[in-house]
Amino acid sequence: MEAAIAKHTDPSNLLIERAVAEWTDDGDTCFLGDEPDSSLNMTVGLDPKTDRLLLWFQLVVSVKRHRAATHSRPRSLFMLFQPDMFDYNHDSCISLNSIPELPAPNETLQAVSRANLGSDNKCMFQLHMCLQEHSQVVMPKSTPPLILATEKSRRLLRSFKSLSEATSLSVYLPLGDDNVQSLRAICNSLLARQLVNHAIDFESTYKGGAERDVWSNFDIFPTFASQHESPKVDGLAAKTPPSTTATTLPQVPVLDCKATEAILAGEEENEERVPEETVPPPQYNEHDAKKSTVSPRPGHQPEQIDHDGVKTEEDKPVDDEQQEQQHTSPRSSPPRKKRKVDDGDDDDDANRKGNPAIAVAEEPTRPTTPPSAYPPPSPPPPPPPATATATALPRPRNTTTKQPHHHHHVHFSTAPLPNEQTSKETISSHAPHTTSPDVLRTQLARFLRWLAAVDIELEHRLDDELWRLGEAAAAGDGVAFYRLQARCKAGVLVGYRRS
């Protein structure tokens, strides 16, 4: 600071004294510097070569960069007064008087007394100033804002800001006889409008840069806290009419009506592609519905499908059915050895030979398209009289009395059961809803998890069956896949039922 002043004038021409400032804020009398350890100083001087007025206040406050910091450092703020700020319409825009000559109020005398400014060889004087515009405060530039370290620094800075906004203030300071003469000469030159503004570079005293009247550089003031701070407006913005400078809402993309109709049409087409519910064939009764359930929409797994190991009506224990069948049907076939897996095709051929009408009806409807495009199944033929009389419905179990459990061998009957489908297509809980390779691979993975849950060794025992299941899944042959899966699961259930 001293180096910047030395470029313009001799520092010996300056008067630097502690002072007490008095002003009015909203009708209340305020004081700054009335504390014994106050850091408010007043500098006044005149450059005799250039007639430049040197007049400013200096306030020192303690600040820190962040709240967790333990060390603080002092920062100086400068309140500048230039000759063109004074209101020359008043005869006493600047005046110097001794306190004993003025009827000072008691609170002013008490404030000066608290500051302890007097000495033996100095008297107290009042320097009164009237301004037509407020003074300017040079302060350090900081982002983020500086944090005031003490409560005293906060109180001093608030008072300093209020003082900078006042246009009428009084300064009380002690002066010796020689300083009184110099200060009176400055007041007379200012009243005669003989003084000019100084050009001291106060901004050079701050390493990080300086700003004027930007109080938001301190944490106790919000953004644009200064009442007299006005935003900068360039020439282009000033010439722009208000209608063009008004804030406009962000542009929202507008969707064309034709594009909207095209999107909605595409969605309707996708909805129309969903197949409708399968219409049941003629002679479809409730008893058939219990045996074969058609999914209302593709991809929906009914509750009776036992791909994951959940028991359905067809998964009842075989020995219980055989036990009830032996008690109710005298025509049950004698026990025989378990037939091979490939015997099912021979039985189907035999049934066709025994019933030529069915064989003739089936030959032209043999599907040549993928299983996913099969037509609705044909209605089941009426059951033969002999079988219908021989096979009886299962009796309801008696839940009150506990019957002894008997282990019986598994018997396979070649006689067709009621509602048995004689066509090539299978309508059961294993009926394929979608025979794409991806769906079949998913079903194969679920079946493997079920086998592992039953017995981890089953995967090695059923290696051949699982290999054929994998080939059917890769080929997308849903009929063969679900037939092999059902036979494999039946073998597992029968084997564990025996044990």
pLDDT value, residue 469: 87
State which H helix or E strand residue 376 sits in: none
Residue 264 burial by CB count (10 A; 0-12/13-18/19+): exposed, middle or buried?
A: exposed
Q: CA nearest 229: which of 212, 246, 248, 217?
A: 212
> Rounded to 5 degrees, what angle do the CA atoms 53, 189, 8 make?
25
User: Is residue 5 over pLDDT 80?
Assistant: no
- Residue with the larger pLDDT of the pair 302 and 131: 131
Q: Of 7-11, 251-255, 385-389, where does mean pLDDT reach its minimum?
A: 251-255
DSSP 212-257: ES-GGGBTTS-TT--TT------HHHHHS-HHHHS--PPPPPPPPH
What does the pLDDT read at residue 418? Answer: 55
Please, what is the angle between helix 437-454 and helix 463-475, to 10°?
160
Cα–Cα dist 132/228, whole Å: 13
What interhelical angle do 478-498 and 463-475 show, nearest 10?
A: 160
Structure confidence at residue 462 (pLDDT): 84
User: For residue 112, what pLDDT is reported?
Assistant: 87
The type of residue at 71 is H
pLDDT value of residue 388? 42
Please state, in angstroms and rounded to a whole number, the distance separating the CA atoms of residues 422 and 417. 10
CA-based torsion, 218, 223, 226, 229: positive or negative: positive
User: Which of 45-49, 227-231, 392-396, 438-442 is most confident?
Assistant: 438-442
Q: CA-CA distances (angstroms) from residue 405 to 130, 272, 323, 408?
A: 117, 55, 10, 10
What pLDDT shows up at residue 410?
54
**Residue whose structure tokens are 């032996």:** 326
Query: Taking Cα atoms as reference points, which of 469, 476, 478 lies closest to residue 445?
Result: 469
Q: What's at 463, amino acid-wise?
A: D
| Count of CA atoms in the C-beta half-sphere (13 A) of 162 | 18
pLDDT at 260: 46
Query: What does the pLDDT read at residue 102?
Result: 65
Residue 422: its pLDDT value, please? Answer: 46
pLDDT of residue 197 exceeding 70, the answer is yes
| pLDDT beyond 90 at 162 | yes
- CA-CA distance, 469 to 453, in Å (whole number)? 19
How does residue 316 score in pLDDT terms, banded at 50, 70 and 90? very low
At 384 the pLDDT is 60
pLDDT, tens only, 232-247: 333 323 333 333 333 3
Please choose, from the candidates 39, 32, 275, 58, the residue with its C-alpha nearest in 3D space to the C-alpha of residue 169. 32
The predicted pLDDT at position 177 comes to 84
Mean pLDDT value across residues 168-197: 90
What confidence tens digit (pLDDT) does each residue in 448-498 have?
Answer: 888 888 887 887 788 888 888 888 888 888 889 898 888 888 888 887 765
Over the chain, what is the mean pLDDT? Answer: 70
Does 16 score more than 80 pLDDT? yes
Instruction: Identify residue 162 by its one-letter amino acid code.
Output: S
Contact 22, 170 (CB under 8 A): yes
Nearby residues of 259 by Cβ (< 8 Å), 6 or more positions away: none
pLDDT at 419 over 80: no
Alpha carbon 75 to chain centroid distance?
42
Percent of the chain clearing pLDDT 90 (strictly above): 21
**Confidence category of residue 183, pLDDT binned at 50, 70, 90:** very high
| Structure-model confidence comparison of residues 6 and 216, the more confident one | 216
Token pair recorded at residue 192: 């005669």
> Can you tell me the distance from the alpha carbon of 405 to that of 420, in angstroms, rounded to the nearest whole number?
29
Question: In the predicted model, is pLDDT for residue 407 greater than 80?
Answer: no
Q: Is the pLDDT of residue 54 over 50?
A: yes
Q: Which of 255, 378, 394 is nearest to 327 (CA)?
A: 394
**Contact call for residues 126 and 96 (beta carbons, < 8 A):** yes
Which backbone phi and psi does 126 adopt, to 5 degrees?
-115, 125
- What distances in angstroms separate CA 277 from CA 124, 293, 298, 305, 379, one per listed residue? 106, 12, 9, 18, 17
With cut-offs at 50, 70 and 90, classify the pLDDT of residue 429. very low
Specify burial of residue 64 (Cβ count, 10 A radius: 0-12, 13-18, 19+): middle
